[in-house]
Amino acid sequence: MDVVTVIERLGGLASRADLIRATSRADVDRALRAGAVVSVGHGRYATPGSDQAAVLAFRLNGHLSLTSAAVHHGWEVKTVPDVPHVAFPRKRNVAQLGRRQVVVHRADLGPDDTSGIATSRDVTLLHCLRSLPDDEALTIADSALRHGEIATLRRVLASVRGAGSAKVRRIGLAADARAANPFESVTRAICLQVPGLHVVPQVVLSTDHYWARPDLVDRELRIVVECESWEWHGDRKGFVKDVRRYTLLTADGWTVLRFTWDDVMLRPAWVRAVLAQVVARAVGDARTEVADAWPAAA
C-alpha cells in the first residue's frame, strides 16, 4: 500500500511511525521528497490538499468548515474531501470561479466562531454533528475526543438548540475517545444501527489462556468485531498472533466478526446485515428474513 493511501485510510493525517509501519522508511522519505505528502507538525503528515484547502479559503476570503475544518484542527475524518468545504457570510457574493473550486456553505460567523482560517473547534464540531451523515459525524467526534477536546464536546452538547439538536446530542453522547481510528469509528456507527447490539471500543478480554483487546466488544452478547487492516499486521508474526487470538476467543464462546476496510467503507449495508443476523441468533431470534435480505457477498 502506498503512503498516500495509508494517510487517506487513517483519516487524512498520520504519524511518521504509522506510515513507516504500514509501508517503509524509504517509502515515506520518497513520498516527502516527491511532495506526495507534507509535514503539518512534528512527526505528523498529510496530503498536499490539506494545505491547499487553507490557501484557497484564504484567497476567497472564507473559512474552512465541516470536514475541511476538522482536518485543519488535526482531527481524523472518514474521507478527506476532494474539494474544500468553505463557509461564507450569507449575503456575500462568491465568484463563479470560486464556486467551482470549493463547496460553498453559508454562515454568519462572529469573532468567537472562527480560529484562523477555519471555523472554531466548537463551531466545527457542532456543524459536523448537525450536518454530516452519522458515520462521518461520529468519526469526527471520536477523533476530537481522542485529541483532548472533551470540554469542546461538552460545550457543544450543553448549548445546542434548534433543528438537528437531537442528532447532535445522540452522536455526541455516543462519541468515545477510545476509538482507535476512523475505520473503527465508522464500524461502530454501523453497529449503532443494529438493535440489541451495544459495542464498546478497545475492551480488554483476558483469561488464563489469552489476553486480547479487540476493536469492538459486546460483553453481554459475547460478540467481538474486528476492523481488519493489512497494514496493521502485514507481517507473518502479526498474522500468526491474530489468528491464535481469534481462535482462543472463539474457543471460549465468543463470536468473532472480522470486517475489512473495503466492506465497512463501501458496503455498509452488507456489514449491517451480517451484524443483525449474528445479534438475532445471539438473542435466540430465528428471523430468517434477515438472512434473505443480505446483499451478495461478492
The residue among 130, 181, 127, 122 whose CA lies nearest residue 149 is 122
Burial (CB count within 10 angstroms: exposed 0-12, middle 13-18, buried 19+), residue 231: middle
Average pLDDT, the chain: 89
Task: Provide mean pLDDT across the span 193-209.
Answer: 94
Q: What are the sequence ranges of the domains in the chain?
A: 1-46, 48-174, 182-292
Comparison of pLDDT for 36 and 240, the residue scoring more: 36
Mean pLDDT computed over 190-218: 94
182-292: CATH topology: Endonuclease; Chain A (3.40.960)
Instruction: Count CB atoms within 10 A of the CB of residue 244.
Output: 12
Q: Is the pLDDT of residue 233 over 70?
A: no
80, 50 Cβ separation under 8 angstroms = yes
Q: Which residue reads 452519522 in cell numbers?
A: 134
52: confidence class by pLDDT, cuts 50, 70, 90: confident
The CA distances from residue 162 to 126, 129, 168, in Å, are: 12, 13, 10
State residue 147's pLDDT score.
96
Helices (H), the chain: 3-9, 16-22, 25-34, 48-59, 66-72, 96-101, 121-131, 134-146, 150-159, 165-174, 182-191, 236-251, 261-266, 268-282, 288-292
Q: Which residue has the cell 476492523?
A: 227
Q: What is the pTM of this model?
A: 0.85
Q: Which three cell numbers stand for residue 100?
A: 467551482
Query: CA 247 to CA 163: how far, in whole Å?
Result: 48
pLDDT per position as a tens digit, 69-87: 999 999 999 998 989 999 9
| 211 pLDDT more than 50 | yes
